[in-house]
Amino acid sequence: MLLAVDVGNTNIVFGLYEGAELSHTFRISTLRSRTQDEHGILLRELLGLHSVTPNQVEAAIVASVVPPLTDVLVEAIRQAFKTDPVVVGPGLRTGVRILYENPREIGADRIVNSVAAFERFKGPAIVVDFGTATTFDCVSPKGEYLGGVIVPGIHVSLDGLLAAAARLSRVELAAPPRVLGRNTTHALQSGIIVGHAAMVDGMVERLEAELGHPCEVIATGGHAQLISKFAKRIQAIDVNLTLEGLRILFERNREKSSGSRGARDATPREAS
């Protein structure tokens, strides 16, 4: 089995692959204070819930946007499964030419998403990832990573509003019954959910106008299902897109990672 790990600012998502099939997924909160021993124990317990033994995990790949946790997770995986995980970073074959002024500034998950999107559509694409930030990543007709947009995510936006507006209270992140809110709860939900969807539609329109061609638009991330109900330009949803991109990257780098069980010095660090 392959263990794919997506370390985000809010959650860490794990996926277990048997060949090309995603058999299990699970997630935990991202806690920078959690030690490698704690992560290792947690991983074993989560696998146990799915009747998976540590010996069944033969390889692993990690994409992380939380630098303090990258080495912690790598060591936890080494100890738990006696294998060196591949880390998305310099020296890793992505199959994607990166046309960004400073490639080292790009979050690993954004490259991974772009790899998965181009593999799926074989043409120009925009990936909208609803996470701590809502990111837009553009892929050219040739599969090149062109760049994108970073917008404060839904939770970040709501937290900022509640911190600044004394009379507003937290509401459930749920679809409003209509766009026109007739009470404060529905008005907030409309602004947060429908407003974010309208932003997505407008941003996609502007990106396509700048690129000069239409794109396939795919949504991923924790709020993809909710926002996509109101976003007209989103054509596909895949909440496991990042995990699929990690699987693809692992296969492209299989020769590097083969024989990694017990190895110590072959881990690349950033996307190239």
Is residue 243 predicted with pLDDT exceeding 50? Answer: yes
- Superfamily of domain 97-242 in CATH is ATPase, nucleotide binding domain (3.30.420.40)
**Residue 260: predicted pLDDT:** 45
Mean per-residue pLDDT over the chain, rounded? 92
Question: pLDDT band at 97, cuts 50/70/90?
Answer: very high
Q: Which residues pair with 16 in a beta bridge?
A: 3, 24
Mean pLDDT across 117-122? 97
Is residue 15 predicted with pLDDT exceeding 50? Answer: yes
Mean pLDDT across 234-254? 96
Minimum mean pLDDT among 116-125, 167-176, 236-245, 253-262: which range? 253-262
**Residue 255: predicted pLDDT:** 62
**Residue 90: predicted pLDDT:** 81
Residues of the chain with CATH 3.30.420.40: 2-91+253-271, 97-242
Instruction: Give yes or no: 71 in active site.
Output: no
* Residues 206-218: tens digit of each pLDDT: 999 999 999 999 9
* Percent above pLDDT 70 for the chain: 93
Is residue 264 predicted with pLDDT exceeding 60? Answer: no
- Superfamily of domain 2-91+253-271 in CATH is ATPase, nucleotide binding domain (3.30.420.40)
Question: How much is the pTM?
Answer: 0.89
Question: pLDDT band at 259, cuts 50/70/90?
Answer: very low
Of 6, 84, 109, 137, catalytic:
109
Is residue 269 predicted with pLDDT exceeding 50? Answer: no
**Residue 256: predicted pLDDT:** 55
